Each structure stands twice: as structure tokens, then as C-alpha cells.
Amino acid sequence: MATSAGMLDGRVAIISGGLGDIGRAIARALAQAGARVALGDVRPSADASDLLAELRTLGRGTRYDRVDVADADAVEAWIGAVAGDLGVPDLIIPNAAIVALADARTITAASWSEQLRIDLDGCFHLAQGCAKRLLAAKTSGRIVFIGSWAADRPHRHIPAYCVAKAGVRMLMKCLALELADADILVNEVAPGYVDAGLSGRIFAAEPAKRAVAEAVVPVRRLITADEVAHHVLALCDPCDRHRTGTVTLVDGGLSLLTPGN
């Protein structure tokens, strides 16, 4: 597995949702491997200061931009600012997402649309904008989408999230096919139950749900944000030149379960 310091020297990573739990872990992992790291999120700049300071101690360039990934023009401006400051991003990590609990019978049109615009369209805006620049510069690159095991496993109460993640998976495959001959490799890391971020907050508020989740997962443990980042780093390993269009499923065996078995 890829872990070596210096493996990503000279590379420029761009991470949406970079101030979330998984985004932060990915930022640390890629910076420790030598990449300059650009973070984008909707949160105020003050929320980025601790992470930026930490990344700077590694001696790498870094920056934070407040950006809404649902806004195509804002994402385009963000990519341009990063390219001018740190260089054209060649490690692209569409990671920002939200989830709202509402079943398919009661979800509002506004909530449905908001989740699709952030969780799916936002990934497209970042991936397309960066791919165009890489193609123009005739530079190779990697795109690693943060998907979910929910992409092909329906869940009650989060239909829009499931549909968005299914869309991200097909987007990943379409881009992998289209960009392969430009040496831009495109893959997805699909976590199961993470003890951080979106589900970590639910587990923290309702510890009983955490215990149930741990008991259900066949490996009997939840994945950490650092473990998700570890798989993202592996997909950025420059020595890995053939893997594209794949899903790295890290769900501890959740997808293997069938009712009553």
C-alpha cells in the first residue's frame, strides 16, 4: 500500500469539502506524501486556519477557498485561483456532500434538488473543470471520487443521497473511459459506516446507533477517516498506472449481507 513520504512531490491536490472529517484526513495524507493541497468548503475561512497551519508545518504550499461546489462558476474560479497559486491540480478529490434524512414520500423538491446539486453536480463541476485544464496542459492526473456503498444499496430515509452517489459512480466510469488515453485515471473510494463526518455525528448524538452499526458490520468495526484517506492515497500512487474506472469498496463486508443470513 502506498505510504512513502515524497511519493507525491510536485503534485497539486484539490479537495472539495476539505474542512470535513474525511476531507481533512485526505488533506493530511496527501500533504504528508508531498503534495501541495488546496482545500475548498462552504465554511468560513476561520475554520480552515488550524488545518492550514498544520499542513504548512510539512513545508508544502496550501490554500483555502470558500466555495459552494453547486455553483459551477464559483468552482471554475476556485480552480483558476489554485492553478495560479499552487499549480494546475493533478490530484482531484470531489468529496463535499450533504445528507438530509427524509424518506421518498416526504422529501421536498427543494431538499431533493439541493442534495443532487451538491452531492452529484458539485462532483461534476470540480472533475470537469480540472480535467479540462489537465487536457489543455497535456498533463496526467488522478481523480478520486469519494462515493459510498449506498451507491448501489438502497437505504430508507436517504433516497436523494443514494441517487446522488449512484450518479457519482456512473460519472466516475464515464470519465474514466473518456480520459484514459490522456493518462487521467479516475476511480472511487466507497466507504461503508465511517466513525466520523456525516455518520459520525449521528453516532455521537445517538451512541446506541453506533453500537448497532458496529454489531452489523461483518468485520465488527467502523472505518476511520484516516483509513478512508489511506485508500485515496493509494489511488494517487504514481506507480499504479493501470487502475481506472474502479470502486475501492471499504465497507467491512456490509455489502455481503443478505436478510436472515
How far is Cα 229 from Cα 23, in angstroms, rounded to an integer? Answer: 8
Stretch that binds ligand NAD, among 16-24, 57-65, 103-111, 169-177 (CB under 6 A): 16-24
- Asked if 97 interacts with ligand NAD (CB under 6 A), we say yes
Calculated CA dihedral for residues 134, 79, 143, 27, nearest 10 degrees: 130
Q: List the x/- string, 23-62, binding to ligand NAD by CB under 6 A.
A: x-----------------xxx-------------------
Query: Among the candidate windows 30-38, 53-61, 93-101, 126-134, which touches ligand NAD by CB under 6 A?
Result: 93-101
Query: 235 burial class (0-12, 13-18, 19+ CB within 10 angstroms)?
Result: buried
CA 203 vs CA 200, 212, 223, 226, 237: distances in Å: 5, 10, 13, 17, 33
Instruction: Exactly one of 78, 161, 193, 203 is catalytic; name it.
Output: 161
CA atoms within 13 A on the CB side of 227: 16
The correct pick among 19, 92, 126, 172 for binding ligand NAD (CB under 6 A) is 19
- Give dist(CA 198, CA 93) in Å, integer: 17
Among 15, 29, 146, 184, binds ligand NAD (CB under 6 A): 146
Task: Name the region of 153 (left: φ>0; alpha: ψ -120 to 50; beta: rest).
Answer: beta
Is 161 among the residues known to form the active site?
A: yes
Cα 232 from Cα 104, distance rounded (Å): 32
> Considering beta carbons, is residue 36 or 231 the nearer one to ligand NAD?
231
Q: Is 66 in the site for ligand NAD (CB under 6 A)?
A: no
65 binds ligand NAD (CB under 6 A): no
Rank residues 111 and 140 by Cβ distance to ligand NAD and give the closer one.
111
d(CA 55, CA 61): 8
Measuring CA to CA, how many Å separate 172 from each of 9, 100, 132, 213?
25, 23, 15, 28
Site for ligand NAD contains 217 (CB under 6 A)? no
In the complex with ligand NAD, which residue's Cβ is closer, 139 or 248? 248
Q: Indicate which residues carry an active-site annotation.
A: 161
Applying CB under 6 A, which residues contact ligand NAD?
16-17, 19-23, 41-43, 68-70, 95-98, 118, 122, 146, 148, 191, 193-194, 196-200
